[in-house]
């Protein structure tokens, strides 16, 4: 079996080589396929990616900045694995947790797995109260419209079986952070078996490079309603 790891990248020159090192270091009973999509970085990230050994990764370069959703959608099209996982290019999420993220799918219990930062006993950095409150609000709203019972809709770690991704990916249209509610709505409407597992989280401050802001929060509200009402 093969695990496809989709990594959207935008202005992550300080972390991209380290996250690749960590992804490579994960020991799994699956072959790993690593797919990088650079969303028109301007900080030197592209030059770093071009310096990587030829053939070691699948690397794609967006001609203009379109957002995380567009990069992930591009990556999904290039996957050939039996299980597909989204990994951010920063260091907030720990690849050493891949094993427990893919286990419900490998056991035949789940079609989609969310790595929740809000359940379980794993360590997580304590940061912004208003981010936490916004995430709880948006997750609750998404649950109401998708008839799911998630604790952390906005998590980066979303994992799919090949059959589940083939149902979801062709309908995805989001270019930016609307991808998170769109995936959630499609998982609910397709009656996929969704599991959550608790993960650790080492969040960044804005000074350390965090990109999401209040405008993304307003967009998230619109996207939840939009995709929640879409047939």
Q: Spell out the SS3 assignment of 133-171.
A: HHHHHHHHHHHHHHCCCCCCCCCCCEEEEHHHHHHHHHH
Between CA 135 and CA 139 the distance in angstroms is 6
Residue 79 has pLDDT above 60, yes or no: yes
| Residue-level pLDDT at 221 | 83
- Is 114 in contact with 155 (CB distance < 8 Å)? yes
Asked whether the predicted pLDDT for residue 220 surpasses 80, the reply is: no
What is the model's pLDDT at position 204?
59
Above 80 in pLDDT, residue 230? no
Length of the chain counted residue by residue: 231
Per-residue pLDDT at 202: 85
Closest CA to 128 of 154, 94, 157: 154
Q: Is the pLDDT of residue 222 over 90?
A: no
Contact between 39 and 65 under an 8 Å Cβ cutoff? The reply is yes
> In the prediction, which pLDDT does 207 show?
64
Whether 212 contacts 128, CB under 8 Å = no
Please tell me the predicted confidence (pLDDT) of residue 54. Answer: 84
Q: pLDDT at residue 127 above 90?
A: no
Ramachandran area for residue 147 (φ above 0: left; ψ -120 to 50: alpha; else beta): left
pLDDT for the residue 212: 65
Task: Report how far apart, in Å, the C-alpha atoms of 83 and of each of 107, 120, 149, 160, 231 are.
Answer: 12, 23, 23, 6, 26
Domain boundaries, the chain: 2-229
CATH number of 2-229: 3.90.550.10
Relative to beta strand 83-86, strand 31-38 is unpaired
pLDDT in the model for residue 125: 72
Round the average pLDDT of the chain to a whole number and report it.
Answer: 91
pLDDT at 139 over 60: yes
Supply the pLDDT for residue 208. Answer: 61
Q: Is the pLDDT of residue 124 over 90?
A: no
pLDDT band at residue 211 under the 50/70/90 scheme: low
């Amino acid at each position: 079996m093969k695990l496809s790891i989709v990594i959207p990248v935008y202005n992550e020159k300080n972390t991209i080589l380290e996250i690749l090192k960590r992804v490579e270091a994960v020991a799994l009973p699956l072959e790993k396929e690593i797919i990088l999509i650079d969303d028109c970085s301007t900080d030197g990230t592209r030059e770093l990616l071009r310096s990587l050994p030829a053939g070691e990764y699948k690397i794609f370069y967006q001609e203009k900045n379109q957002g995380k959703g567009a990069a992930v959608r591009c990556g999904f099209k290039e996957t050939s694995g039996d299980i597909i996982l989204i990994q951010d290019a920063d260091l907030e999420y720990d690849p050493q947790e891949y094993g427990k993220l893919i286990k419900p799918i490998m056991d035949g219990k789940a079609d989609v797995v969310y790595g929740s930062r809000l359940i379980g006993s794993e360590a997580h950095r304590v940061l912004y109260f208003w981010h936490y409150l916004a995430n709880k609000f948006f997750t609750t709203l998404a649950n109401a419209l998708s008839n799911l019972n998630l604790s952390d809709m906005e998590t980066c770690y979303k994992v799919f079986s090949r059959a589940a991704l083939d149902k979801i990916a062709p309908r995805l249209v989001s270019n930016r952070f609307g991808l998170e509610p769109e995936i959630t709505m499609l998982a609910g409407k397709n009656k996929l078996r969704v599991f959550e597992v608790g993960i650790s989280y080492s969040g960044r401050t804005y000074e350390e490079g965090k990109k999401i802001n209040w405008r993304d929060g307003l967009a998230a509200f619109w996207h939840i309603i939009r995709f929640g009402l879409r047939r």
